[in-house]
Amino acid sequence: MKYNLSQRKPVVLECGDQLCESCLKSLVMPQDPEHFKCPFDEEELDFPKRFLYNKQLLKQLEKISGNDDKLCILCVVHEDRECGFTCSKENKMLCSDCLFDHFDHKDKITKIEWDQVRIKLQEKLNTIEKMQYDVSVGAKWIRDITTNDLILNSSDYEQTYAKISKLTDIIELALSDKEQNIEGQNDNINQKIKSESPQIQVKRQGFLSESQILSKDGEFDYVKSLFKDSKPYSKLLYRGTTDGMYCHIFHAKCDNKGPTVTLVKSHHGKIMGGFTEISWTCPSEQKLLFDKRAFVFSVTHKTKHPVAQIVGYSITHDPEYLPVFCGGFGISSNCKISMRSNIGISNLGAIYSCPPGMKYLEPQTQAYLGGSYEFIVDEIEVFSVYN
């Protein structure tokens, strides 16, 4: 298996222990991005400003990676992960983080045998190169005979013409099938839009009707079901792409507004959210608050995650952050770790419950809400909700 050196270089910690760069970043909690606990001896350490890599181990990993025959095909959902599995039900290539999305049909998941893939690709290449040669010879034959540069007897002409006709029939059939597939897909899309448009309009007249993150019929239904008509009305307070993804703007528009629902869409296309009955505020320093009724949820997976670990807090109010559901997800306009803008971090299990069958700090748990532990925020919306 090919080692991902771009994301998982071995880092030497201050305490002497070692772990990969990706795992180190995953240990940081949104409410305290400058510290973390070593997973081996639980010693509290400062997050390093510069990583000290184990150069000897790094060289060995580079040798192993360089000799690996595995094809490097990155996952379209988790962009830093390599594909290693296929799903026959959906006809997709998957990385290890994708597996929990396909857990209900895990019997359809198979590991990719890369040596067999290489053999099949070589066979395809041989076929294409032969066809390419036949096409080139056939084109030259037609040019030569139509310009009287080639003289043939009738038998040679008929045999060669039959071969070229067979070749062009194959090409024309392939092009015709492609055009029909495109036309069929367009017809299906148009029919689906026509059939769903009236339903979507009805849904958008009610709860969270102003949302641009929720676009599908089932998404509105699911979020509404979380409140069971206890909060049937909503009002949009803040939208990141319209108002600006800055902490001071979020607090100016959302502080002291009572219970709120937050919706977030990551650059992976994952949609998550959180509810709190406590009004957001902007204290001079970070303040940790406990709201026993707070919960986070995944619209993508249609799962709800209530407070499971009672540690005295579940919400963070911080002048340098947008909404933070401690141990669930948090949004920052400028991440101190990666120095990137509009960054979200997700990590279930510390306070809010883990997905079924998953554990705290496992990679698939950290990627569950946003598609990866750290993700770019494509959009964020905050709504006040009331009776």
Convert the pLDDT of each residue in 296-324 to its tens digit: 999 999 999 999 877 788 999 998 889 99
Q: What is the rounded CA–CA span in Å between residue 265 and residue 268?
A: 8
pLDDT grade for 339, boundaries at 50, 70 and 90: very low
b (16+ CB within 10 A) / e for 285-300 = eeebbebeebbbbbbb
Q: What is the rounded CA–CA span in Å between residue 344 and residue 188?
A: 36
Tokens 């540690």 correspond to 311
pLDDT grade for 65, boundaries at 50, 70 and 90: low
The whole-number pLDDT of residue 204 equals 44
Choice between 113 and 198, residue whose per-residue pLDDT is larger: 113
Q: What is the rounded CA–CA span in Å between residue 199 and residue 103?
A: 30
- Residues 201-248 have pLDDT tens digits of 434 457 888 999 998 878 988 999 998 767 778 999 999 999 988 888
Is the pLDDT assigned to residue 28 strictly greater than 80? Answer: no
Torsion of CA 237, 242, 247, 251, to 10 degrees: -20
Question: What are the phi and psi torsion angles at 166 (to 5°)?
Answer: -65, -40
Domain boundaries, the chain: 10-65, 83-114, 217-386
The whole-number pLDDT of residue 380 equals 95
Choice between 132 and 339, residue whose per-residue pLDDT is larger: 132
Question: What pTM did the predictor assign?
Answer: 0.52
Structure tokens at 49: 């400003």
Is the pLDDT assigned to residue 382 strictly greater than 60? Answer: yes
The whole-number pLDDT of residue 146 equals 84
Is the pLDDT assigned to residue 23 strictly greater than 60? Answer: yes
- Residues 236-289 have pLDDT tens digits of 999 999 998 888 899 999 999 999 999 999 999 999 999 999 999 999 988 999
- Residues 167-203 have pLDDT tens digits of 888 888 877 766 666 666 666 666 655 555 444 443 4
Structure tokens at 232: 């049937």
The whole-number pLDDT of residue 369 equals 94
The whole-number pLDDT of residue 202 equals 39
Mean per-residue pLDDT over the chain, rounded: 83
Is the pLDDT assigned to residue 40 strictly greater than 60? Answer: yes
The answer for residues whose C-beta is within 8 angstroms of residue 384's C-beta and 6 or more apart is: 234, 235, 237, 257, 258, 259, 260
Q: What average pLDDT does the segment 363-378 reach?
A: 90
